[in-house]
């Protein structure tokens, strides 16, 4: 991936403003409500993270787990294992979104992040998909650690901090994620 230019970063942040506001609302609501029963939170979370077309049982278990673990900050691996064990579903993307909400220093798994990291998601049919997904996710973590310390990462964070009033409520990983999400095409 080529290095981003200052004007591209500014444009990406401007395009991300609505999402940034939604994210800040999610993070403000999280400690104040019961996510297991608050339908407003669930709608906002589902919209922000594009979670749709899951069974009622899936949503019930997902938000019950989120509420139970709200203060324990489970890692991606724990969430991935839990959803697989309780629902029989391999859900790396939605596992990462739950983990990153409870621990904002965790990254999010999506196809664009995986592409940026130079990894490939394991096939759903793979017998080793769970362990491979955990390896890929560790590579995502490593990539973000390096990106945050890079000149480009520091420039993204600096520009973000100058343009976003509530920047102090958003982690470095999430700042970079907001910019990269807008650069996905």
Query: Tell me: the pLDDT tens digits for 21-51?
Result: 999 999 999 999 999 999 999 999 999 999 9
> What does the pLDDT average to over 60-84?
97
Q: How many residues does the chain have?
A: 185
Asked whether the beta carbons of 132 and 55 are under 8 A apart, the reply is: no
Asked whether the beta carbons of 15 and 180 are under 8 A apart, the reply is: no
108-138 pLDDT, tens digit each = 998 888 887 888 999 889 999 999 999 999 9
Question: pTM value?
Answer: 0.93
């Amino acid at each position: 991936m080529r290095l981003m230019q200052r004007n591209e970063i500014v444009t990406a942040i401007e395009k991300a403003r609505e999402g940034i506001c939604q994210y800040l609302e999610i993070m403000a609501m999280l400690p104040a409500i019961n996510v297991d029963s608050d339908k407003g939170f669930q709608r906002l979370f589902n919209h922000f993270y594009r979670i749709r077309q899951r069974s009622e049982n899936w949503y019930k278990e997902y938000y019950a787990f989120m509420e139970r673990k709200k203060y324990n900050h489970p890692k991606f691996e724990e969430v991935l294992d839990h959803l697989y064990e309780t629902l029989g579903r391999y859900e790396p993307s939605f596992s990462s979104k739950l983990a990153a909400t409870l621990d904002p220093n965790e990254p999010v798994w999506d196809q664009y992040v995986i592409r940026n990291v130079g990894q490939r998601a394991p096939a759903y049919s793979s017998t080793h998909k769970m362990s491979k997904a955990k390896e890929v996710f560790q590579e995502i973590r490593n990539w973000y650690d390096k990106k945050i310390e890079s000149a480009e990462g520091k420039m993204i964070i600096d520009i973000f901090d100058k343009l976003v009033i509530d920047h102090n409520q958003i982690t470095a990983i999430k700042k970079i994620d907001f910019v990269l999400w807008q650069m996905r095409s």
